[in-house]
Amino acid sequence: MQEIKSSEQVWQDYHANLLSFLRHRTGNRDLAEDLLQDVFVKIHSRLETLADGERLQAWLYRIAQNSLIDHYRTAREYEPLPDDLAERWAVEPGEDGDIWQELTTCLRPMVEWLPEPYREALRLSDLEGVPLKDIAAQLNLSLPGVKSRVQRGRAKLKELFLTCCQFEFDGRGQPISYATNCQRTKC
């Protein structure tokens, strides 16, 4: 088993290679340098947890890779629902036979059927239009945690729709007709 180096020695030995690693993957020197600083903060704070100095290099690159993943995961911007779709949720079904308008009456009840962690996040985000960062503060969760709940809630809502309704789609993926077999709501 090899002796574990000090943070300063790790910086001297690995900062150039780690910077190159990060720069190659980001294509941006400034971003790579920012990420490298974050990586070395993590290294400095966790170096004593490394049990085997022989695994130091693999451990360093794993931290760098995880920092890249975290950066790109949190850098994605929230994409709100299109304005016209959000407006349709609040509109009663019309006489024009618009399937989206007809299905709006099913959305709110179906959201209520979702398991609690997904229900509240999806209700706040998609039905009330609350920004994800505000939801995170309100629910005392991290921003990635809220994003995950909303994404999973949407997937579960889609499953409910596909379970309750049989759709026929056109070539663009737009529904042209549907039939419901749902016992919970009058869709």
Residue 26's identity, in one-letter code, is T
Q: What local confidence, expressed as pLDDT, does residue 92 receive?
A: 42
Selection from 101, 104, 148, 92 nearest residue 125 by Cα: 148
- For residues 70 and 140, what is the distance between their CA atoms, to the nearest angstrom? 20
47 and 127 in a single domain? The answer is no
Structural domain count, the chain: 2
**pLDDT grade for 98, boundaries at 50, 70 and 90:** low
Is the pTM here over 0.75, yes or no?
no
* CA 61 – CA 102 distance, rounded (Å): 52
- The answer to whether residues 133 and 162 belong to one domain is yes
Nearest by Cα to 60 from 23, 9, 10: 10
pLDDT greater at residue 8 or residue 83: 8
The two three-digit tokens of residue 16, written as one number: 């150039």
What CATH number should be reported for the domain holding residue 168?
Answer: 1.10.10.10
Domain that holds residue 48: 7-75
- pLDDT of the residue at 99: 66
Measured between alpha carbons, how far is residue 45 from residues 9, 48, 51, 154 in Å? 14, 8, 14, 38
- Check pLDDT > 60 for residue 186: no
d(CA 11, CA 143): 31
Q: What is the pLDDT of residues 118-153, one digit of tens each?
A: 999 988 998 888 999 999 999 999 999 999 999 999
In DSSP terms, which residues pair with 165 in a beta bridge? Answer: 180
pLDDT of 3: 58
